[in-house]
Amino acid sequence: MPSQINASILTRALLRKLSVAMFACLLASGGALAANPDLSAGYPDRYTVVEGDTLWDISGKFLKDPWRWPEVWQGNPQVENPDLIYPGDVLVLTFVDGRPVLRSLRRETVRMSPSSRTIDYAEAIPAVDPRAIQAYINSPLVTDEEELLTAGYVVDGYDNRLIMGKYDQFYARGINDAEAEEFRIFRPGRHFVDPISKESLGWEAEHVGDARMLKSGDPARLTILKTHSDVSVRDRLRPVKLKSSLPFFYPKAPANPKLRGMILETDNRATELGALSVVAINLGEREGVAPGDVFRVLSQKVDKKDPFTKETYQIPEENVGLVMVFRTFEKVSYALITNATRQIMAHDMVVSPNVE
C-alpha cells in the first residue's frame, strides 16, 4: 500500500509540474488562456485551518471562483500527501510573477521528520460538509437493467413472513458472491430518463436495509442488521463494499468545458431545493465527469405571454447556483448544491462554471 500511495503522489506531482509548464508555454506563445484567478474581497495572506473547515469554504476565502483551486494550490511538496490539508495547517498566499500561489505550512513537519510521521488520511479536511453527502457515499446507488437481472433477491422469510424488519431472517437466491458476508438490500427506485434524448440512464437503487450471511447455499439464509423500510420478497441484494471515509477530491472545472447537462431529480422528491441539497444530473463517467467537478446551474428558457400585447416573449437562462459532483456512475452523477440564488429545480441546466 505505501508504494502505491507514493506512486500516486509522484504521479500527481508530475502532472502538476507538467500543467504549470504547459501553462507557461501557452502564455509565452500568446495562447488564449484564462487570466489569473480573481481573489476574494478581503482575502487573507495566511489562514490557519480549523476543525470543521471544508476545501470549498477555504477556497472561497481566497478565490472569487472556488473551482479554480487547482490553478493556485501548490501544497507542501516536502510531505507525503501534498494535496491534503489538515486542521492546524497554515495556508500562505504568495505571488509568483504576479500569479497567486497557495502553499501549506504543516505544523507537524516542524516537530518531526517525514520518516517518523504517521499520517491519518481520514483526518484531512473534506471538500464539502460530509454530513450533506455521507448517506450517498455508499447509497443510494445507480443500477442498470443487467444488474437488476443478475442481483440476488429475497424469496421468503425464515418463518414464512412476506414483510420483514430488523433481526428477522430470510432466504435469498441468486447470490453469486460466495465470499461476501454483508449485503445491501435494495429495490429499484426512480427511473432516470434523459429529458432530451429519452435514453434510460438507470434506476436509483433505493436502500432498504443491510443483511449478513448466516448460511450460504441455494437458497442462502441471511439476517437483517438494519432497515430503512420494511424488507419484502423480490427485494434485491448486492455485496457491501463500504468506504470507511469520504473519497478525496477538490473543486475544479470539468475537463470538458463544453459539457451541458440537466438536473434530473432532487433530493427527497422535492421540487425546489437550496444549498447543501443533493441532485442527480444526466452526465456521468462516460462524459468524463469526475468527483470535484463544479457546474454552473442555469434556469431554463421559458416562453411567456405578454399580458397586454399577448405577444410571446422568452425569459432567458439565468445563473442560479453552483453544484459540485461527489459521486459518479456511467450515465448519472450526484452533486451537492454549494450555492443558490434561487431554488434549484429539476430540468435546470448545468454547464461549465466558466460559462458566463
Same domain, 213 and 277: no
Domain carrying residue 156: 135-239
Same domain, 298 and 216: no
How does the average pLDDT of the chain come out, rounded? 84
Cis, peptide link before residue 219, omega less than 30° from 0? yes
**What residues contact residue 11 under an 8 Å CB cut-off, 6+ apart?**
none
- Which pLDDT score, from 0 to 100, does residue 115 have? 44
Region 179-185 average pLDDT? 91
Same domain, 201 and 293: no
Q: Does some domain include residue 287?
A: yes
Q: What is the distance between the alpha carbons of residues 20 and 338, in angstroms, rounded to a whole number?
A: 28
Region 308-329 average pLDDT? 95
Q: Does some domain include residue 247?
A: no
Q: Does some domain include residue 172?
A: yes
- Residue 279 CB burial class (10 angstroms; 0-12, 13-18, ≥19): buried
Same domain, 220 and 275: no
Task: Give the total number of structural domains in the chain.
Answer: 3
Same domain, 146 and 230: yes
Q: Does some domain include residue 80?
A: no
Give the tens place of pLDDT for each residue, 123-154. Answer: 889 999 998 998 788 676 898 888 888 999 99
Q: Which carries the bigger pLDDT value, residue 27 or residue 324?
A: 324
Region 108-117 average pLDDT? 44
Q: Does some domain include residue 205?
A: yes
Q: Does some domain include residue 25?
A: yes
Q: Does some domain include residue 275?
A: yes
pTM: 0.80
- Residue 348 CB burial class (10 angstroms; 0-12, 13-18, ≥19): buried
Same domain, 234 and 303: no
Q: Give ∠ CA 302-333-75 in degrees, rounded to 5.
A: 115
Percentage of residues in the chain having pLDDT higher than 70 = 81
Q: Does some domain include residue 334?
A: yes
Q: How many secondary structure helices (H) and strands (E) does the chain include?
A: 6, 23
Same domain, 196 and 163: yes
Same domain, 233 and 178: yes
Same domain, 235 and 269: no
- Which pLDDT score, from 0 to 100, does residue 85 have? 92
Same domain, 183 and 224: yes
